[in-house]
Each structure stands twice: as C-alpha cells, then as structure tokens.
Amino acid sequence: MFLILLVRVNEDEVLRFVAERKAFFAPVIHTVLTQRLEKIDFSVVYEMSPIGFSMATPTLKPRWEALYYPLSKTVWGATFLVLLFVPVCFYIVSDKRLSNLEVVITMYRLMKKIGDAPDGRWGRLGVGKVFQDMLGMLLGQSLLHRMPDTSSSRILVTAWLIFAVILGITMPPYGEEFRNYFAKSASPVFQKLARLIDIVPSLLEGQQQASELQSHNSQGHLDNQRYQQLSIAEAFTLPDGREQLYIGRESIMPGEAAWPLPHDAPYSSVINRLLMAVNEGGLYEHWGDELLFKVKQKSRTLHKLSHPDREQAVDSPPSLTIIHMQGAFIVLIFGCGLSVLVFTGEVLLSFK
C-alpha cells in the first residue's frame, strides 16, 4: 500500500526525491534519458512521448529580454549590485596608504593586497583589472594569477567563489538534461540543436514566446507533444476553434516515458504489472483523447462567455484588405514603371 501525497514541486525536485528514496515512485510520466538512468530507474514504458515542436505563424522576432532570461529582474539586479560592491572592496583594500587607518582596518584585513607587481612586491591594481578578475571568477574562468598571501584575503576570495557557485547552480532550470542529451549525441543535427536551444522556465512561457516573437528566423518550442497539445487547447485557442500554434508533423526524436523509481526497488514488478494492464486495455490513450476534447470544449466555452459580441464577427468569413492584395499591387506598379521606361526609350530612339 502506498500513500500518495500531492505536493507543489518542479520536475527536478520530483526526480531528486526519488533518487534520495524520499519517495517510493512518482506517478507522473518522465522522459527516459541516459543522464537520468545514472541516478534513478524507470518502470515499464507507460507512453510513447515523442519530443516535438510547436510554432506560430507568421514568423517570429527575438526579444532583447533573452539576454537575462530566464532569471527574474530582481535576481539579476541583486547580482549586479554584488558585482559592483565586491570589486570596490578589493580595490580599496589594495591601497597601501589606507592600510593603517583605524576606521577601515576591518575591511582592509579582509584583503590587504590583491596583486603582485612585476618587481615581486605587492602593488595596487586598477579598477578595471579588479572588476575583470571578479567578473571572470563569476563566469567560471580561472583564478587570479596573483594569489593573495594573507588568510583574510583568501577568505574573501573563497566567499566570492562560493557566491559564483551558488549562482551557477541556480541558473540551469528544468530542461538542461535534454540539451545535454542532444549535445552528447553522435548526430551533428542534434549537436547543432543543442547549441540553438534556449531554456525557458515553463511550457506556457515557451509557447507564449513562440506565439509572440516575430522575425525572419522562426522560433519554436520543444517539449512533449501531448503536453503541448493540452497547453495549446487551453491557452492558445481562439473562440472559433482555430489554434495560434501548430505542432510539427514530424517529431524531433521518439521518446519513451515512464514512472521514476529508485534503483533496485523491490516493488517495481508490481507497478510494471499494473501499468501494463492499463496500457493493454487502451485506457491511457482513451483518457488522453477524452481529456484533450474536454479542454478544447472548456476553452471555447470560456471564450464565448468572456467575449459574446465577437462570436458573430469570428464566424463570418474574413474580408480581403490591402495587405492581402499587396503582392498583386507591387506587380502592377512594377509593370507600370517598366512600361513607362520602355515607352520613354522608344520616344528617344524615334528622334534619332
């Protein structure tokens, strides 16, 4: 007998609970990846969940917010303030003239010197060099070639490195395993795909970007096809039933989904037998189709209730505008211009 608890956690925390044996299993399907098999085991394949892409028409345009996405503005603002404060401390404490002041003696003991001058003596570094070194450590580059010689200075460097490690661990959200899976593949197509992938916090935000961004380089969202169908039916369906996003006909790769289990779980055979009974009876596919139909029906009903005046306008056929006739209009203007040039040339030749 199992006790099922409904908790609000993300995908990474679910897998961590199973790997640490805090949970006997997770009754939610997860894609079977080689990176995950190193930490957890899986039940029998419960669903074929190919990884597909959803895109919007017309073409999409990139947003400049992608420079700091997916972390929030508050997190990046706090990181920027810390990045400004710490180099100032390093720069101030490297000044030998201020090292004897009693007012700032505590700050100077943290980092008395930070650079070894060319003649072997400890010297003062410029603001730009200090900022470059601190930013380099934050981005995971090598340590300073001029290592401090005091314990207090090393403590300050260690504290900064710990801050950089915590920030680096926090940044990769759910989805990094898929990018690593594509990057380690022998296929050059998958390796190219791994370089193009941009991680987003959730399925809804990824599809929202795909529906809003417009440029010559189209953008799509990669995820489980069934999840994407449900999300499109719920959040990206117009009152007349038309969908703002479409799912590609071909999948990126055939995926297998199963329930996460701890390694060598003694009850795995029981769970596999029950899951096989559900699959062989066709109950899972029937449940998925029925759920998708109900979501579409509910979404359309909510649209009609929230915008009752738009129902007639939506059902009527769309009228042609100058945008639809733009191509023919351009051809007409080009033909008229060409005829004027030909006529002018004939008139000039007639005078010779």
Q: How many CB atoms lie within 10 A of CB 197?
A: 14
Nearest of 240, 218, 243 to residue 229 by alpha carbon: 243
Structure confidence at residue 349 (pLDDT): 84
Structure confidence at residue 167 (pLDDT): 61
Token reading at 208: 């929202």
Please list the ranges in the chain whose pLDDT falls under 70. Answer: 1-9, 55-73, 75, 87-158, 160-161, 164-177, 213-218, 307-329, 352
Structure confidence at residue 122 (pLDDT): 38
Chain-centre distance for alpha carbon 194: 12
Is the separation of the CB atoms in 225 and 50 below 8 Å? yes
Token reading at 167: 């920030």
Q: How many CB atoms lie within 10 A of CB 223?
A: 24
Structure confidence at residue 222 (pLDDT): 78
Contacts of 252 (CB under 8 A, 6+ apart): 50, 51, 52, 53, 193, 222
Please write the tens of the pLDDT for every residue from 326-339: 666 677 788 888 88
Q: What is the pTM of this model?
A: 0.41
Please write the tens of the pLDDT for every residue from 195-249: 888 777 777 778 787 777 554 456 778 777 787 888 888 888 777 777 778 787 7
Is the separation of the CB atoms in 201 and 68 below 8 Å? no
